[in-house]
Structure 1
Amino acid sequence: MHVLMVAAENDALPGAKVGGVADVVRDAPKALAEQGITVDVVIPDYGIHDLNRTHIGDVTVAFNAHPHVLTLFKVEQSQSNVTQIVISHPLFSNSGSVYCNDAPGRPFATDATKFALFNAAVCEALLQGVLKRPTALHLHDWHSACVAVLLKFEPRYQTLSNLNIAYTVHNIALQGIRPFKYDDSSLEAWFPSLSYDGQQLCDPRYPHCFNPMRSAINLANKVHLVSPTYSQEVLKPSNYEHGFFGGEGLEQDLKNAADKGKLVGILNGCEYPNSTDKKVSMDDLYSQAQDTLFNWMAKTPQLESGYYIAHQRLQQFMASPVKGPLVTSVGRLTEQKVLLLCQSIESSLVIDEVCKIVDEFNGRIIILGSGDEALEEAFTKAMARNANLLFLKGYGQGVGDLMYQLGDLFLMPSSFEPCGISQMLAMRAGQPCLVHSVGGLKDTVKHNDNGFSFNAGTLSKQADSLLKCLDETLTLHKEQPKQWQKIKANAKGARFSWTQVATDYISYLYQ
């Protein structure tokens, strides 16, 4: 069996990772290869120059009513049965990053055009034989959805129209919606001669708009959600007032897919390298955090207040040993991840109440992450108000790894979580997690067994439930050390293996 994966991200290559999808596209092919499957992975090259690559072919595609020449390269690497391929074009390298931020009035405009051209090149490369025809074509998120659209509706690719397509939804909140026409970033601007069925491709909320994710859901042979629980949650409409995030407008299409037997929930995996058991200390974490802070500070001539406060707080932490539990959190600062922590409660925010509870146990909180500017500001102000909170605005692999190893409790109160990787990394290091029992968090963290979880019907009740659970958890940590050690051991012993994921891919997505 031969599989071709098409994605926007791939952490097997430098500079091509933003989120968790990059980890999946890095790890899943290796696990498939171990079961005898040959896998090709293709992404745009984003102008990454430090790749040892070999030219494998050029393709010319008609795009925006002009011919465009794109170049395909095989990236040299040692992995057997997995071939890493990048496609090069000035449009992919102009931004210098994987994704671009467009003005609020034109969401996804730059990226949608970029990925539409990339998808067209994939289709043409398959037709020309530059890419080997696969047994199964595995598309990831909205960025690769136009491959399914072109194979279905472009007569030029009729010989490829019977390819078995598996489509993975990693984050249904991002759908890549653009107009059908009257915009230079629209389906008809990209492919002016395409005859398509608008009923299958339109957005259910904005019928004049093209929805790539909905298109792929409707056109694929199999639709994959990245955890069993999330695959059920998306069949229901979202209800923001009650703090429930479901199908985000695509629930009916997903329900139709489920009724046809083509919807599959398979939990993502985690790698479990052989442990070196190298002893690390809080001094190591503080030193790494300080070095990382200095690197962030040096990027701009003016010192940001958030970095200044963080450095002062770090000095305070270094001057006095932590007496109670260390609560950690690592992840992108988005509403998905921290909406609950930013809810108002009396005259403060939930994050302030979290700090108070942790302080009652003489504990500290370290949060590592960046993202939405308003949320970054909210956490910077919370750090200024709470002497036991250190907020590190950014991401540093070394700091994150040490936080997983040294933390006593990992906090992950996501409002929705398709799968989640942070909780798996914390558990792998033996750090129990306190999570909102949704999506992949519900599938990985079992309350009072290998971690702790909460849930409730509205945002305010979810906030109350989070605080109650935190207080009970830290009480258990303090008063029942044997029980805590058992939960800690269960967290460390939990396994979400890529071997099982690969087996399920072969059985449920590719056959």
Structure 2
Amino acid sequence: MHILMVAAENGALNGAKVGGIGDVVRDIPMALADLGCRVSVVLPAYGFLHHRRMTNEPVTLPVHFGGTAHTAYGHRVQADQPHDGVTHFVIDHPLFEAFDAERNAHRIYVDDPPHQPFAADATKFALFCLTVAQGVRQGLFPDLTHLHLHDWHAALLLFLRAFHPDYRSLRDLPTVYTIHNLGLQGIRPFQDHASSLHAWFPGIAYDRSAVADPRWDAVNPMALGIRLADRVHTVSPTYAEEVLRPSDVPHFYGGEGLERDLRGARDEGRLYGILNGCAYPEETKRQTEPDFGALWSLLKATVLDWSAATDTLRTVHFTAHARLSALAQASRPPTILCTSIGRLQPQKMMLLKEAGTRSGSGLEGVLDRLPEGGLLVVLGSGDGDYERFFMQTGARRGNLLFLNGYSDACAAALYTAGDLFLMPSSYEPCGISQMLAMRAGQPCLVHAVGGLRDTVRHGHNGWHFDGERLPDQVDRMIDAFSGAMEIFSTDKAQWRTICRNAAATRFPWPRSAERYLEELYAS
């Protein structure tokens, strides 16, 4: 069996990961290879990945896109941690490159203006899908038996497979379509825009009902993937159930307008929910009590690095550095260290920003219930309104340390040092942060949705809460946190048991890979 995985991210290549999809595309190929499969992984080069560890001469991929001839180049590259049975490819074309001069770095995704969402990325990934199809046609990935497409970025391969006369051979390959986040669908117009289906693939006859969004006169790659793939896969069993229900944003997240298509996939026996896994290296286990001096030093050095990246000192970094200096000079460590790591945007942080039926935000309610001497550390960046909210709250509250950025080293240190991890996502297809926290022996407090419900057992390896309406969810989050703090303060034996249970919880990738073979790739 030779599986080609097509995705926008790949954590096996340094700089090619933004979120959880990169972790999955890094880890599941290795688990499948351990079971005897051959796996190839392909993504765009983004202007830099093809310069790193090339292992062959580039393969020329001529295509017609947007009514003109283009040439892309397929490169086989070496992963940072090579694995037998897994081969990594990137495809280079000038359209795939986006350089952020302010951050002096290449970007995988582009932030398009609100009046034309996904425009740059949709065009980029439409061309990427075309070059992958050409690569399959030319034998860049020899002896393929299956195509596995990840999220909307790869969905247009199914359009080409179904309707493009040059790529009919792709119909011989069974296809799996994985939904990592149904909230991002890549919707674009049919025509009258440079980033539209007719502009990308002029003259191609197609079935409009197969590609149309159910709500608007537009192309929906996510819907296309659900309708045209042989099997549709969500990254947790609970999420596979949630997406069948209608959405009531912002209080509830379900099928995001595609619930009818997803119910159709379920009724046809094409919808599967398989939980993502996690790697469990020995060095992630908590061996001793945290070294808070080393932790504060690492966080201070990171904040200084972030500050040095700009010409002017940002208030949020100044405040964090001052707070860290005070912590380093304190005579004793925090009585309890709570942590939260993730993107600062509505999906992840709405329940902390919004108010419940009581006064103040959810975050204020959590801080009010921290034991004396306790500290909550939030590490993340994202939406400007959310960054300002955490910055302003952190400036007023001495028991909140807000670190406005991201660092793998800081995240790993906080997973290891923390006593309780907060992950109150409004929806969560699977989630990796809660697995990483538990892996290090840190129990989690989570909203009982999606993969969070599937991984955190209330009172066993953490706590969870629910609620029908947004204010109720905020209230119940605060109550669940208060209950956890009561156990921490009054029943140390029970707390230690919950921590041990968290450390012993396992979601191994080999278990997920076995289900892939049994359910997604079975003939």
Which category of TM-score, normalised to the shorter sequence, fits these structures? over 0.9
Shift, 1:162, TM fit: 2.8
1:43 counterpart SS class = strand
Does residue 1:393 correspond to 2:395, yes or no?
no
Map of 2:379 onto structure 1? 368
Map of 2:368 onto structure 1? 356
* Aligned counterpart in structure 2 of residue 271 of structure 1, from 257, 264, 279: 279
Provide, for residues 429-456 of structure 1, a one-character-per-residue CA deviation record: whole Å limited to 9, x for no partner: 0000000000000000000011111111
Does residue 1:287 correspond to 2:288, yes or no?
no
Counterpart-to-counterpart distance in 2, 1:269 and 1:313: 36
Map of 1:462 onto structure 2? 473
Point out the more displaced range, 303-312 or 138-147.
Answer: 303-312
CA 1:390–1:63 in 2, change beyond 3 Å: closer, same or farther? same
Counterpart-to-counterpart distance in 1, 2:69 and 2:2: 30
* Aligned counterpart in structure 1 of residue 502 of structure 2, from 470, 485, 491: 491
Point out the more displaced range, 439-448 or 454-463.
Answer: 454-463
2:401 counterpart SS class = strand
Map of 2:153 onto structure 1? 143
Counterpart-to-counterpart distance in 1, 2:142 and 2:77: 16
Counterparts of 1:22-421 in structure 2, within 5 Å, are 22-48=22-48, 50-53=51-54, 54-77=56-79, 78-95=82-99, 96-206=106-216, 208-240=217-249, 243-275=251-283, 279=288, 280-320=290-330, 321-345=332-356, 347-358=359-370, 360-421=371-432
Counterpart-to-counterpart distance in 2, 1:28 and 1:323: 38
Q: Is the 8 A contact 1:71 1:88 kept in 2?
A: yes
Shift, 1:348, TM fit: 2.5
Shift, 1:285, TM fit: 1.1
Provide, for residues 99-125 of structure 1, a one-character-per-residue CA deviation record: whole Å limited to 9, x for no partner: 011111010100000010010001111
Counterpart-to-counterpart distance in 1, 2:169 and 2:300: 57
Aligned residues between the structures: 508
Shift, 1:130, TM fit: 2.1
* Aligned counterpart in structure 2 of residue 425 of structure 1, from 432, 436, 449: 436
Shift, 1:362, TM fit: 2.8
Provide, for residues 8-32 of structure 1, a one-character-per-residue CA deviation record: whole Å limited to 9, x for no partner: 0001011111000000000000000
Q: Is the 8 A contact 1:361 1:474 kept in 2?
A: no
Point out the more displaced range, 436-445 or 76-85.
Answer: 76-85
2:57 counterpart SS class = strand
Q: Is the 8 A contact 1:9 1:25 kept in 2?
A: yes
Letter in 1 for 2:84: S
Q: Is the 8 A contact 1:167 1:224 kept in 2?
A: yes
Unaligned runs of 5+ in 1: none
Point out the more displaced range, 288-297 or 269-278.
Answer: 269-278
TM-score, normalised to structure 2, is 0.95
Point out the more displaced range, 129-138 or 49-58.
Answer: 49-58
Provide, for residues 460-484 of structure 1, a one-character-per-residue CA deviation record: whole Å limited to 9, x for no partner: 1111101111011011011111111
Counterpart-to-counterpart distance in 1, 2:142 and 2:333: 57
1:344 counterpart SS class = coil
Does residue 1:442 correspond to 2:444, yes or no?
no
Counterpart-to-counterpart distance in 1, 2:276 and 2:245: 22
Q: Is the 8 A contact 1:55 1:71 kept in 2?
A: no
Counterpart-to-counterpart distance in 1, 2:98 and 2:502: 44
Letter in 2 for 1:351: L
Counterpart-to-counterpart distance in 2, 1:454 and 1:324: 24
Counterpart-to-counterpart distance in 2, 1:347 and 1:409: 24
Provide, for residues 168-208 of structure 1, a one-character-per-residue CA deviation record: whole Å limited to 9, x for no partner: 000000000000100000011000021111111111111x2
1:161 counterpart SS class = helix
Unaligned runs of 5+ in 2: 100-105
Q: Is the 8 A contact 1:56 1:130 kept in 2?
A: no
Q: Is the 8 A contact 1:234 1:251 kept in 2?
A: yes
* Aligned counterpart in structure 2 of residue 475 of structure 1, from 486, 500, 510: 486
Map of 2:102 onto structure 1? none
Point out the more displaced range, 157-166 or 312-321.
Answer: 312-321
CA 1:158–1:289 in 2, change beyond 3 Å: closer, same or farther? same
Provide, for residues 299-346 of structure 1, a one-character-per-residue CA deviation record: whole Å limited to 9, x for no partner: 111111111111111122222223421110011111000001011355
Q: Is the 8 A contact 2:98 2:108 kept in 1?
A: no
Shift, 1:357, TM fit: 0.7
Provide, for residues 276-296 of structure 1, a one-character-per-residue CA deviation record: whole Å limited to 9, x for no partner: 756441111111100000000
Letter in 1 for 2:409: G
CA 1:87–1:23 in 2, change beyond 3 Å: closer, same or farther? same
Letter in 1 for 2:454: D
Letter in 2 for 1:455: D
Q: Is the 8 A contact 1:310 1:392 kept in 2?
A: yes
Q: Is the 8 A contact 2:237 2:274 kept in 1?
A: yes
CA 1:179–1:324 in 2, change beyond 3 Å: closer, same or farther? same
1:339 counterpart SS class = helix
Letter in 2 for 1:452: W
Shift, 1:457, TM fit: 1.1
Q: Is the 8 A contact 2:63 2:131 kept in 1?
A: yes
Counterpart-to-counterpart distance in 2, 1:317 and 1:412: 24
Point out the more displaced range, 461-470 or 360-369.
Answer: 360-369
